Amino acid sequence: MEVKKIAVLGAGLMGHGIAQVAAQVAKYDVSLRDVKQEFLNNGMDMIRKSLQSFLKREKISEKEFEETLRRIHPTLDIREAVKDASLIIEAVPENVELKKKMYREVEKSAPENALIGSNTSSISITELASATRRPEQFCGMHFFNPPQLMRLIEIIRGVKTSDETINTIVEVTKRMGKEPVVVNKDCPGFVVTRVLIPALNEAMYLVWEGIAEPEDIDKAIKLGLNWPMGPFTLLDYLGLDTILSITGVFQNEIGDPKYRPCPLLRQMVKAGLLGRKTGKGFYDWTEKR
């Protein structure tokens, strides 16, 4: 199957970046849909700022800047967004029922042969696909933040996902300039998140037990393991509420005590110290925002 047009549902932190990559690198026409005009405006503003950054560093030309923006079509109408899309990429918040509700809306207007990819980082692809009439055409398509820069995309196979769907998404991924990794068995967290969450959780236990401060742990991991950023900087970027939600999914689906969230994580979420999104987490981001 040839993908000609993409619809991205959700213009937030991940959705706007996915739309930009699809339009800028792969040169697809992209419908970008969200539920409020302010969300669409914010998403388009972030795309412009990102493109301006590439332009300033001479990574793209003025012509490419303008052409990319012309390929992206923001809309509030989900029917308009998906009616002629070959691939629909869902990038709404990590809430199972919210995602399923959206798929039911998509089914009303999307072409019968359209593929659906979810950008979920932890929710079962098989469960999400069950909310559609096309589980064979459904897969996980997990981008990493920020999508404009991170090269990896995890492509996750649900129980009923067809080989044709996986092969098509692999080709779309390569056209976007990304490196695909196919996850053959649907499991919570897939590959990267499954490995990352216990590491981040263990870092928080080091602070909770008074063993070291976040700044020193970040320094140790950056210098000792060659991570580009330390675990506490990464936690603040990802959002502590998101991490707590993912540990909950792991506990429910896998049941292993190693995924039990550190008490410090629960405390900080209750206090509203979620990281960059709230201005404070393990670090103060109020000036850096």
Task: Give the chain as a DSSP string.
Answer: ----EEEEE--STTHHHHHHHHHHTS--EEEEE-SSHHHHHHHHHHHHHHHHHHHHTTSS-HHHHHHHHHHEEEES-HHHHHTT-SEEEE---S-HHHHHHHHHHHHHHS-TT-EEEE--SSS-HHHHHTTSS-GGGEEEEEE-SSTTT--EEEEEE-TT--HHHHHHHHHHHHHTT-EEEEE-S--TTTTHHHHHHHHHHHHHHHHHTTS--HHHHHHHHHHHH--SS-HHHHHHHH-HHHHHHHHHHHHHHT--GGGPPPHHHHHHHHTT--BGGGTBSSSB-TTT-
How confident is the prediction for the chain on average, in pLDDT?
Answer: 94
286 is a domain residue:
no
Is 162 in the same domain as 220? no
> Which residues, listed in sequence order, are joined to residue 33 by a DSSP beta bridge?
9, 75
Q: Is the pLDDT of residue 125 over 70?
A: yes
288 is a domain residue:
no
Average pLDDT score over residue span 138-144: 96
pTM: 0.85
- pLDDT, residue 94, reads 83
Is 40 in the same domain as 78? yes
- pLDDT, residue 66, reads 96
Q: Among 183, 212, 233, where does a domain finish? A: 183
Token pair 């930009």 in the structure block, residue: 20
Is 250 in the same domain as 116? no
Is 18 in the same domain as 97? yes
Which residues, including other chains, have CB under 8 Å from residue 110's CB and lie 6 or more apart? 82, 83, 85, 88, 116
What the block records as the tokens of 283 is: 């670090």
Pick the more confident residue, 9 or 188: 9
Distance CA 100, CA 91 (A): 12
Is 174 in the same domain as 244? no
Q: Is the pLDDT of residue 289 over 70?
A: no
Is 204 in the same domain as 93? no
The pLDDT tens digits of the residues spanning 210-266 come to 999 999 999 999 999 999 999 999 999 989 998 998 898 888 888 888 889 999 999
Is 78 in the same domain as 158? yes
285 is a domain residue:
no
Q: Among 139, 160, 183, where does a domain finish? A: 183
Which of 247, 268, 143 has the alpha carbon at shortest distance from 202? 247
40 is a domain residue:
yes
Q: Is the pLDDT of residue 287 over 90?
A: no
* pLDDT band for position 288 (cuts 50, 70, 90): low
Pick the more confident residue, 184 or 121: 184
- pLDDT, residue 86, reads 97
Which residues, including other chains, have CB under 8 Å from residue 201's CB and lie 6 or more apart? 247, 259, 261, 262, 265
- pLDDT, residue 227, reads 95
- pLDDT, residue 266, reads 97
129 is a domain residue:
yes
- pLDDT, residue 30, reads 98
Domain containing 223 equals 194-278
The pLDDT tens digits of the residues spanning 46-103 come to 999 999 999 999 999 999 999 999 999 999 999 999 999 999 999 998 889 999 999 9
Q: At what angle do helices 192-208 and 263-270 cross, to 10 degrees?
A: 90
Q: Among 140, 162, 183, where does a domain finish? A: 183
Average pLDDT score over residue span 261-278: 96
Give how many domains the chain has, as a whole number.
2
Q: At what angle do helices 231-238 and 214-225 cross, to 10 degrees?
A: 110
Is 217 in the same domain as 274? yes
Is 118 in the same domain as 18? yes
Is 21 in the same domain as 164? yes
CA-derived radius of gyration, the chain: 19
188 is a domain residue:
no
Which amino acid is located at 173 in the chain? T
- pLDDT, residue 248, reads 86
The pLDDT tens digits of the residues spanning 176-217 come to 999 999 999 998 889 998 999 999 999 999 999 999 999 999
In this structure, what CATH number is given to the domain that contains residue 235?
Answer: 1.10.1040.10
Is 160 in the same domain as 222? no
